[in-house]
Amino acid sequence: MFRVLMKILAVDVSTSSGSVALLDEMELKAEWSLHSARTHNRRLLKTIDLLLHQVNWTVQDVDGFAVTLGPGSFTGIRIGISTVKTLAWVLQKPYAGIPTLDALAAPLGFAASPVCTLLDARKKELYVAFYQPDGNGTCRRSSPYLVKSPEHVLREIQETTLFCGDGWLLHRDWFLSNLGDQAVELPPPFHTIRASFVAGLARQRFLQGAGDDPMSSVPIYVRASEAELQQQNKSHECGIVVW
C-alpha cells in the first residue's frame, strides 16, 4: 500500500494540447497547459523541470508519476509514456497509466446527465467513450473505448448528453444542427485534457494500492497505427495471414 501523503507529477501529451501538473495530496501546486502544433518532445522535460523548480521540488521529491495512455496522437502518447515510465522506473516510484478519455471526463463527475468524450482520431473519425456521472464526483465509463465516425456517434445519443473534447470542437456545428437540445455544450476549459485530473485519478489508484508496472504498461491505441495497417496490407498482398 502506498503512503497517504503523496506528491504526484502527471503528464498528458496525447493531443495537440499538452499539460503537466504537480499535486501535493489534495493541493494542486502547479499546472501548465499549452496548445501547439509543435512536437511535445521539444518542451516536455523542460516544462517538468520548470514546474518542479517553481514549487521548490526536485524530481526525487515526487512520490508517484502518472501519464495518459491514449487514445490520441500515436506520437504524443509514445513521448509521454516513455518519459514518465523512465522517471518512475529509474527513481523506483509508483506509476499509473490513465486512459485519456477517462481524464477528459473526470471534471464532470458532479453532472446530472451522461457524458460523451470525443477526441479527433483523424481520417474523419473520433475516439469516443460514454460516461455516467454519479453526482458525487465520479464518472463511470459505460462503453468501451471506440473509434467511430460522427454519424455513428450520433446514433448512440438517446437523451440529453454533455459533450467535451477537441473532437466536439471539430464537429460542433454538425452535432448541434443534428442533436438540437439533446447536445449540451460545455465551456472551453472542458475540451482540454488537464494533467491535474490525471493526477487526481492516479492518486485514487495509488491509495488503493493499484498502480501499474512501468515495464509492462502499454498505450491504448484503439485502432492500429498507420505503419501497422500498411504492414497488414502488404501481408495480405503477399498471401500472408497475420493472426
Q: In the prediction, which pLDDT does 242 show?
A: 32
Q: What pLDDT sits at residue 39?
A: 67
Q: Are strands 95-98 and 139-141 parallel, antiparallel or unpaired?
A: unpaired
Are 163 and 48 in the same domain? no
Residue 117 and residue 131 in one domain: yes
- The CATH number for 144's domain is 3.30.420.40
pLDDT in tens, 55-72: 999 999 999 999 999 999
Residue 201's pLDDT is 97
Residues 153 and 182 in one domain: yes
Residue written as cell 446527465?
Answer: 113
pLDDT over 50 at 238, yes or no: no
pTM: 0.90
Task: Name 224's bridge partners.
Answer: none
Residue 146: give the domain boundaries: 110-190
Q: What is the pLDDT of residues 122-139, one digit of tens each?
A: 999 999 999 999 999 999
- Say whether pLDDT at 98 is over 80: yes
DSSP, residue by residue, 46-92: HHHHHHHHHTT--GGG--EEEEE--SS-HHHHHHHHHHHHHHHHHHT
**What are the C-alpha distances in Å from 34 to residues 65, 215, 235?**
20, 29, 40
User: Total domain count for the chain?
Assistant: 2
